Structure 1
């Protein structure tokens, strides 16, 4: 497995990976309508992370196996389609960095892909001066984050314009 920084040239391939991951790994946690709405209004690549150099891809045998990143910006979740305003920088001395947009291709699930990307993100965030991280986990992602030391803070729902909503779990982890 190789972990590297994502490039803008990969956006279409990454968005295709996101859709495969969500449709393949969210069944049983979310209804088909919730999945469709989440893909339309929420899930996707946040190109700001790629511009910032904080979005990673995992490759196995030359194939995109997963993606995910961290952010020094205020946005906690969502792709480009869900952002309407500027995304200011966080103060690493006072605020938690964000773990963002983790997706694993179903063919590579449970092979350490998410764990490897998360380790790269945590190391980079720590090097950038962040002492803690927070995230909004989907229900299928919650067990991974919990196993890697993230503590649940609150369960909430993201509401979509079509009337659907998506349960998520806000979680955090100290880095030092």
Structure 2
């Protein structure tokens, strides 16, 4: 897409990323989840600012407007935002035996099906590979699962409830070997 750029996100980008995430959660989850589940999904989704601090979180912009974001991590946390402390595990992973994590991927609903998700995945996979990882894993939403399957990810396990509280919000742990 003309005008599409990407860069590592900074702390100054957090408000714009939070707005993008909220739009994506509210709109893109609706075909897969009930209204109560969409509301509850916020308990297990969102930005983990550790990714920005670690310089592993990308922001995609169209003519300077944020349209997508996502990152990878060399830490053990599989999913969850700053508000989901119970899910956080900041231990450093060993690239020789552990899988890097693909984290917090979102596309603005007005820009879906334009290659933004694939771009973010490619950026994350390339960065994880450069850091020595041979495998990546993620916790996918049902809305994201078709993209990840198309990009070579395989389901590892289905999770019926990603957050400890609220209605059950399903997810799919997925993985992929990096060539």
- TM bucket normalised to smaller: over 0.9
Q: What secondary structure sits across from 1:56 in the alignment? A: strand
SS in 1 for 2:126: helix
| CA deviation after TM superposition for structure 1 residue 37, in Å | 1.3
| Pairwise CA distance, 1:154 | 1.1
1:127 corresponding residue in structure 2 = 130
Give yes or no for contact 1:46–1:78 (8 Å, CA) kept in 2.
Answer: yes
- Equivalenced residue count is 175
| TM score, norm. by length of structure 1 | 0.95
Q: Give the 4+ runs in structure 1 shifted more than 3 A.
A: 159-163
- TM-score computed with the length of structure 2 as normaliser: 0.94
Distance 1:161 1:97, change over 3 A: closer
| Equivalent pair of 1:3/1:116 in contact (CA under 8 Å) | no
Structure 1 gaps, min length 5: none
Using the alignment, how far apart are the partners of 2:136 and 2:89 within structure 1? 21
2:16 paired residue number: 13
- What is the rounded CA distance, in whole Å, between the counterparts of 1:22 and 1:54 in structure 2? 21
Which residue matches 1:75?
77
Counterpart of 1:136 in 2: which secondary structure?
strand
Shift of 1:62: 1.4
How much is the aligned-residue C-alpha RMSD, in angstroms? Answer: 1.2
CA gap of 1:165–1:152, structure 2 versus 1, over 3 A, is: same
Q: In 1, Cα distance between the equivalents of 2:75 and 2:89?
A: 10
Q: Return the alpha-carbon distance in structure 2 between the equivalents of residues 87 and 93 of structure 1.
A: 18
Q: For residues 90-169 of structure 1, what are the structure 2 equivalents within 5 Å?
A: 90-160=93-163, 162-169=165-172
Structure 2 residue aligned with 1:38: 41
Distance 1:132 1:113, change over 3 A: same
Equivalent residues of 1:49, 1:70 under 8 A apart = yes
Q: Tell me what 2:49 maps to.
A: 47
TM-superposed deviation, 1:114: 0.6
Partner deviation per Cα, 1:17-67 (whole Å, 9 max, x = no partner): 10100111111101111111112x122110000000000010012110010
Q: List gaps (5 residues or longer) in structure 2.
A: none
